[in-house]
Amino acid sequence: MPNPDQQYAARTLPQVVVDAAAAHGSRIAIIDGEVQLTYEQLDAARISAARAFIAAGLEKGERIAIWAPNIYQWIIAAIGAQSIGGVLVPLNTRYKGSEGAYIIRSSGAKMLFTVGDFLGMRYPEMLADQPLPGLERTVLFSGEAEACQSWEDFLAAGESVPAKEVALRASALTPDDTLDILFTSGTTGNPKGVVTGHGQNIRTFENWSATVGLCSDDNYLIINPFFHSFGYKAGWLSAIIRGARMIPVLSFDLDAVLAQIEREKISMIPGPPTIYQSLLAHPRRKEYDLSSLRLAVTGAAPVPVELVRKMREELGFEVVVTAYGLTETCGVVSICRADDSAERISHSSGRAMDGTEIQCVDKEGQSVAAGIDGEIWVRGFNVMRHYFCLLYTSPSPRD
């Protein structure tokens, strides 16, 4: 049997966006309020942002941090930097100033992209008293703050950079180059930076999106935050890979979501079980046309069998699946299949993703029988490169 790795053509992030623009052209890629971008316009925005990053002096392997809610500029900044070899570092929008500063310092990010205010959180002000010796500039997607550059001025500075310079930098990238560093854990110690590459992330979410059945006809309501792999990689990255339409959710409001499902003919909604339980329990649910709903991907908590059945029978989802993963595996380890029973979806997290292996072992590293507790071992293309570490020790956010 031929080795599947020998047949697979690995890609970089800029290649994915270029391919999506070629395949889907004038189809809408993003709807964010009054802003609509086609796939061709998304690619043009990527190039404009990449030119601005070159003008700002971003070199291959250097990090940029994004501390902002789900807005279209988040995506453009990420793919612009990643197209010229920049490395994305997302920050949790719920972080306190000391926590955000710790990630910025620990990653060595030289640029921060944020907003002036989100739900009362004024991120630039929260960092004002934090030591950030490596941070060279802060750019605001929206709002105002002292000593910050506007997103518009940042982009304008890139107009002097030839677009061919972006193409040259993008063509020099390989699938093995670093795409992002997501910081994880922190419950028992300081968060650790997980380093993953272009090719392994793209292959993971080509696999994930094909397995769950995401397609170019889907209108994808991205509720999960972009700072998490569920909203970023299983969210907008997967949508670009499949040519789906992205509708980012700034902050979750159930009434607004129900209206948006009807207005935008939403077909794909991801999220934890509480999202679907809330939809089912809404007293005016039947006043809204939810007939467009087709695909639900859930997880992060137990999914009762009865919930799966109600999602199919009352909300009208054709496909309900669960998945399991962790940041260290690009976000995915196992996935249910579309034809799995409600009982299997409820009582498991599916089977190993194609091309990967899972083993459950005891403390001696020996496989355990079904029903016996053990430690999960994962092997495959999705496993991270390593944890990130700068040459100096960063102060703790608890100091």
CA atoms within 13 A on the CB side of 192: 14
State the CB neighbour count (10 A cutoff) for residue 389: 12
Q: For 30-74, how does the pLDDT look when each residue is reduced to its tens digit (9 = 90+)?
A: 999 999 999 999 999 999 999 999 999 999 999 999 999 999 999
Helix (H) or strand (E) holding 140: strand 137-140
Confidence grade of residue 248 (pLDDT, cut at 50, 70, 90): very high
Instruction: Read off the pLDDT band of 310 (50, 70, 90).
Output: very high
Report d(CA 180, CA 178) in Å as an integer.
Answer: 6
Give the DSSP H/E element, type plus range, for residue 297: strand 295-298
Structure tokens at 58: 């971003």
Q: pLDDT band for position 186 (50/70/90)?
A: low
Give me the numbers of helices (H) and strands (E) for the chain, helices first please: 15, 19
Per-residue confidence band for 340, with pLDDT thresholds at 50, 70 and 90:
confident
Separation of alpha carbons 312 and 349, rounded Å:
18
pLDDT band at residue 396 under the 50/70/90 scheme: low
List the one residue out of 310, 311, 332, 322 whose CA is nearest residue 378: 332
| Domains of the chain as residue ranges with CATH | 11-197 (3.40.50.12780), 199-387 (3.40.50.12780)
For 19, the token pair is: 């391919």
pLDDT value at position 385?
A: 93
Q: The whole model's pTM is what?
A: 0.92
Q: What is the pLDDT of residue 390?
A: 67
Looking at residues 272-283, what average pLDDT do you find? Answer: 92
Q: What are 101-135's pLDDT values in tens digits?
A: 999 999 999 999 999 999 999 999 999 999 999 99
103 vs 386: CA distance, rounded Å: 17
- Cα 321 to Cα 222, 237, 311: the distances in Å are 16, 19, 11
